[in-house]
Each structure stands twice: as C-alpha cells, then as structure tokens.
Structure 1
C-alpha cells in the first residue's frame, strides 16, 4: 500500500466515502420533510401504528419478539424458548433440554434491533454467562443450519387479495480466508469492511483472532446476518419472480393482520425457498423495518433515498386504510412514551452480552 492508499484505508475515510456506514440521522435527515408530509396527510405523527394492527406500535419500535413469534405459524419459525429476568441459568438450561434444543444456540433480547444483544451460545457455560449478564427479557433459539440468509420485504394493502415483494437483500457473513502466515486479526485489518468492525470482533473472539489459518481455509468471524455486525448486504431483488412472490404471500397471509415489513429468512437453496421447503423465518420486522437492499455497496445514497421514500408511501397508505377500518394511530402521549421507552431499551441493550 502506498501512502495515499493507507490514508484511505483508515476508518474515518472508509466511513466518509461509503454512506452505508453513516449514522441513521446522517442518512435520513435529508428526507424527513417527506415523512412529515405523510404525517400531515394522515393527521398523525404516529400513523405507522395502524400498519400492522396485531403488533405493538405496528412494529415500529419496542415490539415484543415473543408476541411477534406467536403470530408466526410454528412450522416456519425456529424452536424458541422465552425467558423473563431475573432468570436462573440452570433453570434455563433445563428448559432448553426439555424443549429439545441442542447446541449451538442463539441468544437474543426480547426487544431490540440491529443485532444488539444477539450472541451465539456454543455450550452450557455460554448459556450460563448470557443469563447472568442479561438485563432484558430474552429468548434462546435453535441455530438454523441452512447457510443462506435473506431479508425479504413484503407489503399488502388491506383491501387487496394478494401482497407483493418490494425487495430482497442477500446477506454474506463476515469471513476471512487464511494464507498460512498471517493471523486472523492481521487479515481482517487488510479488509476495509472488516476494519469497521474490529472492536466488535475483538470483543467477540479475544485471543482467538491471533490464530493463523491454513492457506485457503475460510472462517466466518461474525455469523450474524446484520449490517451492524459486519454482514455484506447485496441487492438480490432481481430474483423476485411469480413463484417466490406466491410463496412469500402465502406465508405472510398466515401472519394475522401483517401488511408491511421484512422477513429475515434462513434457507437451503433459492429453489427450495420458492417451493416453501427447507427454510425458517428468523425474525419478522414491522413498520420500523428498513428496505435493507439499499445497503448494497453498489447503490448510491440517492437510490437509498428513493427506496426509503417508496416504502414510506406504501406504509402511510396501508396505515390510513387500516385507520379507516377502525385501527387507531398512537395518541401524542402514547407516541412520546414509545420514544421514551425506546431510549431506555437502548441503554439496557448496550449492556447486554456481546
């Protein structure tokens, strides 16, 4: 690397020239006038609450993962056990055994987002540590073995017989390939994307990053399909066809009064997914979901703004239609309380095991 390349390899300049790493306000502030116009049209700052009537706040903020999971047909959802704090680690282990869960497992907070508080639990000791440090209600989920993960954005107008897919994001987990000479840490620091997540990776792996992989050996260092945890997001919306549309619509229509949001799905192959086989819905996100295919590094910020606004308009239309059917928006007091709760949740999420 020459001097200029080394300068551009620094996190500050990587973030500066790649908008996908910008903060939420830095991306959204420029299009907030559109949001406020939609609020004015709905005559409510909190119209989104009517979008998915069976989900708290429409799934915009603070929704319970347990409540959402109970809406998903069992055959589509990984085996999951929910726990309230304070919890006893040994009782948690017994419950996991009673429900037939085997390691590895995934621990997640019951309220959250952006991968905060999500942790792979490789053994009983990891479960005990997770439970001991948990400061929010949490759930432990079986680890879905299928290697592929996508986020599929789905919308349906309340008076329409069928819905439609508006975008697909393919998630590639952050990984490294050994050369037989350099440590994992050294190899990661050569990669611009990995460099942006080094603090998280060091916290996750510790001395494990000093391992030297064999030449050609590949290791996933962040097995989380989340942009905030290092996954590369690729726009695969071109893969939407009639078969996939029909399958996703059939699934979503089995989730009561679900009209707008993103399904995070692990699957074996695209053909199996189209046929409704060998897949699991890891999570359902409602009104607060982003069309995450915008984070494909090939997309400009202008493309992202266009897609966000397109989804906002759909969200507003669905919410107004549901409101006319009798589903309420949040009152001013309820909306303010929602944001206060979210602030409290965020503080506690930051303290969850990483």
Structure 2
C-alpha cells in the first residue's frame, strides 16, 4: 500500500505549502482527534450515532473487566486500530482467552448480514449536505467446494489467503483434509479487510438519493465530521440503496478509497481516483481550525514507525 502512495509525497508537500500546514489532513474532521488520521477512538464516534444504525457495542478498558461474555459469536477489536489488525469474531470462551489485545477494546454484536460495503463520504463545512464519493463492495475469502479440492489445498493455492496461511491452517486444522460436497461454501475470513483476503470491487453504481440522504443525516449527528468512510453491512443491495444498513465503524482522515483495488482498475485509473478523494480532503481541511499539537502528532508517528 505504501509503495502505491509514494508518488503522492510531492503532492503532500505542495498541499502543505498551500495550506501552511504539514499535517493539514488532521484538520479535516475537527471533532475527532487528529481528524481521524491516527490515535482516535472509534467508540467515541459510534456513541454519537442513533442506536438503530449500530450494533450493540460496548467499550472495556481492560480485557479482564469483561467477565460476563456476550452470546457467541461477537466481535472484538481495538478501539484505536486500523486495517483489520486484531479484529476477531469470538465463537467460544477459548477464542476469547486467546485474543491477544488486553486494553481499550470494543466489544460488538456480530452482524450476520451477507453484504458489506465501505461508503466514502465528504461534505464541505459551509454546505448543508455532503455527497458519497464512492462505494467499495467486499467479497470475503471463502471456499466454494468443487467436490475435489481440500481446504488445505485451497489455502495453499489461493493467493488471497497468502498472508493468512498459518492462521487459517490452525483455525481449520480439523477440517483441512475433508472434501466437502460440491457447492458447499465455507467462509474462511468473516472480517472484510484486504489483508484478510477480502477482494474489493467498485460498487459506486449503488449510490442513490436515499442512501446519500441517510448518510447525511447520520453525519450531521457526529461532531464536526466532514470526511471519511462508513464501513457498513446490509441485508441486501436494495436495502443499502434505500438507506437501510448497520454501521460497524467510521474511519476519518486515514480513510482509503478502497474501490481502487477493484481488479478491473488500471493503475492510472486507481491513481486518478485516489487523487480525486485526496483533493477533496485538502479542500475541506485547508481552512479548518487546528486543534492538535504538531509535536504530539510527530511523536506518535515516530513511535509507530520505530
């Protein structure tokens, strides 16, 4: 991912000069710490949304505080996190015991809807409503048996499973050499993230007036939120277009326009789309008030790098 964005370093410097701020992107959402670029609480954002649009969600400061486990399955993830790191669906007490993170966790009801999307939203601060810039559809990593291939062979041969081979081999160790009946579907990864084998595709044709209106209504309730991606689940395509969905989380300034990873996109198309989104981020951020410390931001970034 970082290699893809390397050509944007010059673009970042130019925008920094125009806005007189090296970290102008941290101003895009003044109501969120660092604009939602890093070290921001996703739970604090979810708390500002009407319960009808979010799963049952709780925050625990320490794993040991969660003594009365919810009904399985449920989701656990870091409150401050990104790119699907340590996001897990907990199916048993043993899963919970083995979950690695210990502090500042979000516990969330598992939403078993078949469709998941990333809805990218932007609004100019001086305008009454915003727009949906793009929608990413997500195709989860799963085996659809041909009646011949074992799960072990599928994991070994599927390029999307490459970075999760060891994890998947352990997770399905009792099923690896079973040949399932033809047509049987086995979901290997229930978390919709690129590094978990999810394939992203451009679903921007699903943008509708009703969906845009609903996203605008929800965004109005979030303190000074102007730019970011809603990760949502829906029961059907039509439900999404009609503004009926559940929000899993909202990402801020660090949001990526993930529809650019659609296999149909050429490299030039991907760069054009990434630039379009980043141009809008700059236009929103350049005249926003600064409410963060450059020193603190630099310290956090250096800590993450080293």
Common topology (TM > 0.5) = yes
Is the Cα contact below 8 Å between 2:163 and 2:196 reproduced in 1? no
SS in 1 for 2:186: strand
The separation in 2 between residues aligned to 1:180 and 1:318, in whole angstroms, is: 53
Aligned residue runs from structure 1 range 35-54, under 5 A: 35-54=12-31
Q: Say whether residues 1:126 and 2:95 are aligned partners.
A: yes
The separation in 1 between residues aligned to 2:293 and 2:159, in whole angstroms, is: 45
Report how far residue 247 of structure 1 moved: 2.1
Is the Cα contact below 8 Å between 1:47 and 1:329 reproduced in 2? no
SS in 2 for 1:58: helix
The separation in 1 between residues aligned to 2:170 and 2:126, in whole angstroms, is: 49
Is the Cα contact below 8 Å between 2:161 and 2:196 reproduced in 1? no
SS in 1 for 2:200: strand
Q: Say whether residues 1:314 and 2:283 are aligned partners.
A: no
Is the Cα contact below 8 Å between 1:158 and 1:321 reproduced in 2? no
The separation in 2 between residues aligned to 1:330 and 1:318, in whole angstroms, is: 17
Report how far residue 134 of structure 1 moved: 2.1
Report how far residue 25 of structure 1 moved: 2.4
Report how far residue 159 of structure 1 moved: 0.3
For residues 330 and 81 of structure 1, do their structure 2 counterparts lie closer, same or farther at Cα, with a shift above 3 Å needed?
A: closer
The separation in 2 between residues aligned to 1:230 and 1:43, in whole angstroms, is: 40
Aligned residue runs from structure 1 range 133-144, under 5 A: 133-144=100-111
For residues 340 and 125 of structure 1, do their structure 2 counterparts lie closer, same or farther at Cα, with a shift above 3 Å needed?
A: same
How many residues align? The count is 306
For residues 67 and 190 of structure 1, do their structure 2 counterparts lie closer, same or farther at Cα, with a shift above 3 Å needed?
A: same
Select between 30-39 and 260-269 the one with higher mean Cα deviation. Answer: 30-39
Aligned residue runs from structure 1 range 325-336, under 5 A: 327-328=289-290, 330-336=292-298
Is the Cα contact below 8 Å between 1:247 and 1:274 reproduced in 2? no
Report how far residue 195 of structure 1 moved: 4.0
Deviations 1:87-131 (A, max 9, x none): 32xx5141x4xxxx421111111111111101110023322332x
Is the Cα contact below 8 Å between 1:46 and 1:331 reproduced in 2? no
| Corresponding residue of 1:14 | none
- Segments of 5+ residues of structure 2 without an aligned counterpart are none
Aligned residue runs from structure 1 range 60-75, under 5 A: 60-75=37-52
TM-score (norm 1): 0.81
The separation in 2 between residues aligned to 1:289 and 1:343, in whole angstroms, is: 19
Aligned residue runs from structure 1 range 282-293, under 5 A: 282-293=248-259
Aligned residue runs from structure 1 range 265-276, under 5 A: 265-276=232-243
Report how far residue 207 of structure 1 moved: 4.1
The separation in 1 between residues aligned to 2:121 and 2:209, in whole angstroms, is: 14
Deviations 1:255-301 (A, max 9, x none): 22110000000011222223333x21001000000011001111122
The separation in 2 between residues aligned to 1:200 and 1:34, in whole angstroms, is: 38
Aligned residue runs from structure 1 range 26-37, under 5 A: 26-37=3-14
RMSD of aligned alpha carbons? 1.9
